Amino acid sequence: MSQNIWVKMVKNHSAAPEYTTNNSTDAILSDIQVNAAALKYLQVLCEISRLVLETLVAMGSGFDCASKEEIKKILSLGVPPNKIIYAHPTKKLSHLKYAAEVGIEMMTFDNEMELHKVKHMFPTAKLVLRIKYDDPRSNFPLGGKFGANPDTAAKDLLEKAKSLGLEVIGVSFHIGSGNTHLDVYQKAIIASRKVFDMGAELGYQFKLLDIGGGFSGNTGSSINEVGIAVNKFIDQYFPDPSIKIIAEPGQYFVISAFTLVTQIHSKRCLPSQNGSELIRMYYVDISVFNSIIIGLYDLYVKIAPVEEAKGAPVYPSTVWGATCDGSDRVSPETVLLPELAIGDWVAFEEIGAYSLSIASDFNGFELPHVHGIVNRRDWKFLTEAAKRPMSKQKFATGDYPENYLTGLMKPSKFDTNYF
Q: What is the pLDDT of residue 276?
A: 79
> Rounded to an integer, what distance in angstroms lies between the CA atom of residue 102 and that of residue 159?
28
- Look at the chain and report how many structural domains it folds into: 2
Residue 324 annotated to the active site: yes
| Residues 325, 224 within the same domain | no
The amino acid that residue 270 corresponds to is L
Asked if residue 419 is part of any domain, the answer here is: no
Q: How many CB atoms lie within 10 A of CB 414?
A: 18
| Residues 97, 200 within the same domain | yes
Asked if residue 309 is part of any domain, the answer here is: yes
| Residues 147, 291 within the same domain | no
Asked if residue 39 is part of any domain, the answer here is: yes
Q: How far apart are the first and last CA of the chain?
A: 12
The rounded average pLDDT for each run of 10 residues, N- to C-terminus, in the chain (419 residues) is 50 55 44 38 58 83 92 94 96 98 98 98 98 80 87 98 98 81 89 98 97 68 74 94 88 77 93 86 92 77 83 93 93 93 90 73 82 73 83 54 38 35
Stated as kind and residue range, the H or E segment containing 198 is: helix 182-201
Asked if residue 414 is part of any domain, the answer here is: no
| Residues 158, 293 within the same domain | no
Active-site annotation holder among 46, 65, 269, 324: 324
CATH of the domain at 170: 3.20.20.10
Q: What is the pLDDT of residue 143?
A: 73
| Residues 225, 83 within the same domain | yes
Asked if residue 417 is part of any domain, the answer here is: no
CATH of the domain at 363: 2.40.37.10
| Residues 311, 231 within the same domain | no
Asked if residue 396 is part of any domain, the answer here is: no
| Residues 295, 206 within the same domain | no
Q: What is the pLDDT of residue 407?
A: 36
| Residues 137, 196 within the same domain | yes
Q: Kindly list the distances between the CA atom of residue 9 and the CA atoms of 82, 129, 188, 255, 345, in Å, as whole numbers in the listed order.
A: 40, 47, 45, 20, 10
Asked if residue 364 is part of any domain, the answer here is: yes
Per the CB < 8 A criterion, the answer to whether 148 and 142 are in contact is: no
| Residues 179, 50 within the same domain | yes
Asked if residue 127 is part of any domain, the answer here is: yes
Domain-terminating residue out of 187, 217, 248: 248
| Residues 290, 317 within the same domain | yes
Q: What is the pLDDT of residue 43?
A: 58
Q: What is the pLDDT of residue 57?
A: 87
| Residues 207, 92 within the same domain | yes
Domain-terminating residue out of 370, 393, 409: 370
Range of the domain at 293: 3-17+256-370
Q: What is the pLDDT of residue 291?
A: 83
The amino acid that residue 100 corresponds to is A
Q: What is the pLDDT of residue 217?
A: 55
pTM of the entire predicted model: 0.79
> Rounded to an integer, what distance in angstroms lies between the CA atom of residue 290 and that of residue 80?
32
| Residues 190, 154 within the same domain | yes
Q: How many residues does the chain have?
A: 419
Domain-terminating residue out of 230, 248, 266: 248
> Rounded to an integer, what distance in angstroms lies between the CA atom of residue 348 and that of residue 59?
27
